[in-house]
Amino acid sequence: MSDDSDRDALIVAARRQADFAYAPYSGLKIGAALAFADGTVVIGANVENASYGLTLCAETVAVAKAMADGRRGGLEAVAVFVAGAAADTPPVMPCGRCRQVLHELAALGASDPLVWCANESDAVATRLSALLPQPFGPESLQRD
């Protein structure tokens, strides 16, 4: 992601995807867009479930789609857009599970993607490593 227009395009992709969210319980429609080094963008939307623990976050859906398409590494940036939050609510950050799932994909390419979290009025940029310091990864499973 080289400039502001790339950032804006990624946020727009996440915003459009939020329209496809299934969020009858929280009312928060969330879209995610993952940008890869080759220019590919993979999108996802949250899918809620009456059994709340089975809900899928937008970021997890997008990562699963990317992995199912054979993507391993090359993750440069992530945009997460939330619609339906109160007007004075700051942009929503990825939950802990999503941070972990994003880390696993990013680690496959040794990248530290920029994560843009946005709503109708604001966008906040943070590196994934700042959102998930001291991550648990494949190296954590190494045995002697």
pLDDT tens digits, residue range 60-103? 999 999 999 999 989 999 999 999 888 788 898 999 999 999 99
Backbone phi, then psi, for 127, in 5-degree steps?
Answer: -75, 145
Write down the pLDDT at residue 89: 85
Q: What percent of the chain has pLDDT over 70?
A: 97
- Residues 119/34/66/42 CA torsion (nearest 10 deg): 80
59 catalytic? Reply is yes
How far, rounded to the nearest angstrom, does the alpha carbon of residue 103 sit from its chain's CA centroid?
10
Right CATH for 4-135 from 1.10.510.10, 3.40.140.10, 3.10.20.30, 3.30.450.20? 3.40.140.10
Give the separation between CA 134 and CA 144, rounded to whole angstroms: 21
66: left (phi over 0), alpha (psi -120 to 50) or beta: alpha
Domains of the chain: which residue ranges?
4-135
Give the separation between CA 33 and CA 12, rounded to whole angstroms: 9
Query: What CA–CA distances, in Å, run from 26 to 4, 23, 30, 48, 142?
Result: 31, 6, 11, 8, 39
What is the model's pTM?
0.92
Name the catalytic one among 48, 59, 76, 120.
59
